[in-house]
Structure 1
Amino acid sequence: MAFPIYGIGVAVVVIVAGLYRLLQVGKRDRHMPPGLPTLPVIGNLHQIPITGLYKQEKRKVISHTFSPKQLDEKHYKVQEAESTVLMANLLEKPGDFYCQIKWYTASVAASIMFGQRGATPDDFWARWTEAMEPGANPPVDEFPLLKIIPSSLAAWKRRAISAGEVMDNVWGKARRIIDERRARGERRNCIIDNLLDEYKNKGSPFTEHSFNNLMGEVVEGGADTTSAQLLTLPECFALPNLMSHVSSAAFAQARLRPGSSSAQVAQICPPPYYATWRCQE
């Protein structure tokens, strides 16, 4: 009986020693400076973020791209050119005000980022807005358990996935157009060309998918939110003036109605002042 008891005692000692040694794995060495508390075995592994790894690089790219110096010296030229086109289009098609504003903001953002003007807005913006409007999605950040609901039972998940696929296709296609243009030896003075040249020499901190989405995020921010503001401002500024100057409003309406000729437009804003602020003088 002595041998089994002795064997059990040895086994207990070995198990305790093994557990103690295991619990020391991941513990901060006493020779190291103080730092964040650790957990047994995994150490600080649980404190390494699994998302948001590109936030700093994204912030760096965007802050440099839209610094006051860049805006004052480069980007304003694109805005002036596109605003001239916008005003000319509004004089010809005043009834198409909503789409023209959408086109203007998307074209400015696309020209600055991709070096090419934007096309007429299509149903992509409708699907994107539908997925992002207030109330479209439940508060999954506040209640993480909502994330485990399968897509088959959550229409908001299916809508978000569909919008994400549309975005991936749009920005993936934009990147392919850029790559084909650059393969022909055509380089333009735009953000994506500058970044691709830089990353070609020192390596890219992003995956191709992340980089494409970053460029797309900037276009979205410059197009969708800006157009919403521009579509609201005329109501804030124009309506009080129109109420105060009814005769002037009737005069302008008679000459800017759909189908008005260029001769009628010229009575209000004669050449060469089309689409410039000088026609207000």
Structure 2
Amino acid sequence: MVNLLFVVAGGVLIWSLYRLFQVGRRPKGLPPGPPTMPIIGNLHQIPTKDPHIQFMQWAKEYGPVYSLILGTKVMIVLSKDQAVKDLLDKKSAIYSSRPDMYIGQTLVSGGHRVLMTPYGPTWRMIRKLAHTALHINKAVTYVPYQEIENKQMLYDMMEKPADLLEHFRRYSSSLTTSMVFGFRWKHFNDPRLQKMFHILDNFSRINSQGHAAIIDFYPILRQIPDWLAPIKREAKEHHKVEKENFLEYWLTAKNAIINKLPSVRPCACVDIVENQKEEGYSDDFASYISGSFLEAGSDTTSSELYGFAQAMLLYPEVQRRVQAEIDAQVGDDRLPTLEDMPKLPYIRACIKETHRWMPTTILGAVPHAVTEEDNYMGYRIPKGASLMTNVWAIHRDPNRYPNPETFVPERYFGDELNSADSAACSDVSQRDHFGFGSGRRVCPGTHVADRSMYLAMSRMLWAFDIKPKKDSEGNVKMPKQDVFVEGFLAMPVQFEAEITPRSEKRAEIVRKEWEKAKEGLDEDGQFLTNPI
């Protein structure tokens, strides 16, 4: 009997060890990928710095669809436009979910962050709400907000040209809070705005840590007590601060809307209040809906505008051509307007090229997840696998974009589509870029983003010259292309630039336009009346 128990125990041990060493191996039928190691799979090969470079190299080695084994999880990497179209667009019914992200969604977000919400009734309800708040016709109503923020941005650039990135960040953040909550930021250094940036940066930092990914890739580690897992404690502490901040914004707006206070302005929270009445969800959940809208717009536009400014330093011939087009079509007596947009094809091409050349989501932000077993190109796509859009590799594909490292707006001549219509093209080769996502997860705010980029870029180059700084010895200080501050979003490493008005006449127009815009604001920079 004792011998039998030893045999059974030995068999169980051998079977357990066998199963353990199957973890990390690439299952049969999956797309190819780099060689794996037992237990860890390909985890040891994921770089902590500039991972987009390695992901593009693997695409060259293993093809447009390859797989990575990350502990117990499977990731499929899509590195060609057609693969993205075939799976995320054409099969969006099963390719629109999200992987299980324990740290990012469960602990940091209390299960409420829209960006990480799995596909299902809850996500569809929020998506419908986002469409109501941001669809093309509704987006037009926010133009007065864009005008005010843009004119302050131009004035700030003239007064403090050294703080270019701060001006871009205030511009995009103030526009976003105006659209979502109905209030704006007068100064970049406002303590509440700085707190918001700190929360966003901390969220990005926590989710970029290797410890967060390890707990996702080995779910058994979730059982480790908090005192042995600092990342769990940190995530829960962040959630408390983040939720408190989101609730403060949400409840202030909700109270004003319900009580019809004079301070209420047209904003997404008006739609959320009505939706909450219909659906009956909690204020915690509502605060994360509005907070997610806030996150989506706060740093994306500013990062791409910073990328455009960098391109103007590196490619001065593009700046000269943009300015020549604006001067010919607009002149020097007024700022460019949205009505001028059809007459400025080169600046529209610059917007598209900026999205391509400096994508903020170089590896697609958050992966999709497949909810049913599927097959593609003869490969098995297992249920539950995550799918990453390798945006960087697609945007740097020389077959799709000749001379891809170079900022070449001319490649988009003749492309009259906006970002939303372009993403919906049946022929994926006609799509302009992939920075706004794909399928049912495509960004709902593309119309607002396109207008914000146009107003900022056209007016910035109408008003100013952007030139390299020189050091004390007269040497030109140029930024380095493709060197990024990485996190949840990517943007160029900070650089210096010489921002000077193109003429005193144009400088005076910038001053007058801001003075006129300020007439509708109180001393705290808030709207005196409804600007819409």
Matched, 1:126 2:198: yes
Instruction: Tell me, in whole angstroms, the C-alpha distance in 2 between the residues paired with 1:180 and 1:244.
Output: 47
Counterpart in the other structure of 1:68: 136
> What SS does structure 2 have at the residue aligned with 1:141?
helix
Displacement of 1:250: 7.4
1:184-222 per-residue CA deviation (whole Å, 9 max, x = no partner) reads 63332111123324544xx33422111111000010111
Contact 1:105–1:223, Cα closer than 8 Å, also in 2: yes
Displacement of 1:74: 1.2
Instruction: Tell me, in whole angstroms, the C-alpha distance in 1 between the residues paired with 2:216 and 2:291.
Output: 23
Say which of 258, 267, 271 aligns to 2:508.
Answer: 271
| Residue identity matched to 1:140 | I
Residue 231 to residue 152, structure 1, CA distance change in 2 (3 Å): farther
Residue 143 to residue 236, structure 1, CA distance change in 2 (3 Å): farther
| Residue identity matched to 1:130 | N
Gaps of 5+ in 2: 1-116, 321-464, 470-496, 514-532
Counterpart in the other structure of 1:135: 209
Contact 1:91–1:265, Cα closer than 8 Å, also in 2: no
Displacement of 1:171: 1.2
> What SS does structure 2 have at the residue aligned with 1:116?
coil
Question: Which moved further from structure 2: 176-185 or 159-168?
Answer: 176-185
1:44-90 per-residue CA deviation (whole Å, 9 max, x = no partner) reads xxxxxxx855212111111222222222x212332222111111111
Counterpart in the other structure of 2:222: 147
Matched, 1:79 2:146: yes
Matched, 1:185 2:403: no
Instruction: Tell me, in whole angstroms, the C-alpha distance in 1 between the residues paired with 2:168 and 2:466.
Output: 24
| Residue identity matched to 1:249 | K
Say which of 158, 170, 190 aligns to 1:91.
Answer: 158
Instruction: Tell me, in whole angstroms, the C-alpha distance in 2 between the residues paired with 1:234 and 1:161.
Output: 38
Greater share of residues in strand: 2
Displacement of 1:141: 3.2
| Residue identity matched to 1:122 | Q
After TM superposition, list the pairs within 5 Å mapping 1:140-179 onto structure 2.
Answer: 140-179=215-254
Displacement of 1:248: 8.2
| Residue identity matched to 2:508 | P
| Residue identity matched to 2:203 | A
Residue 173 to residue 92, structure 1, CA distance change in 2 (3 Å): same
Contact 1:124–1:166, Cα closer than 8 Å, also in 2: no
Structure (1 or 2) with the larger CA radius of gyration: 1
Displacement of 1:116: 0.8
Residue 66 to residue 243, structure 1, CA distance change in 2 (3 Å): closer
> What SS does structure 2 have at the residue aligned with 1:249?
strand
Instruction: Tell me, in whole angstroms, the C-alpha distance in 1 between the residues paired with 2:318 and 2:181.
Output: 42
Counterpart in the other structure of 1:207: 282
Report how many residues are paired: 216
Counterpart in the other structure of 2:301: 226
RMSD: 3.6
Displacement of 1:266: 5.5
Instruction: Tell me, in whole angstroms, the C-alpha distance in 1 between the residues paired with 2:510 and 2:219.
Output: 57
Displacement of 1:111: 0.4
Instruction: Tell me, in whole angstroms, the C-alpha distance in 1 between the residues paired with 2:506 and 2:162.
Output: 18
Residue 240 to residue 204, structure 1, CA distance change in 2 (3 Å): same
Instruction: Tell me, in whole angstroms, the C-alpha distance in 2 between the residues paired with 1:77 and 1:91.
Output: 22
Matched, 1:249 2:467: yes
Contact 1:114–1:191, Cα closer than 8 Å, also in 2: yes
Structure 2 length as normaliser, TM-score? Answer: 0.36
Instruction: Tell me, in whole angstroms, the C-alpha distance in 2 between the residues paired with 1:265 and 1:234.
Output: 16
Contact 2:172–2:301, Cα closer than 8 Å, also in 1: yes
Residue 141 to residue 275, structure 1, CA distance change in 2 (3 Å): farther
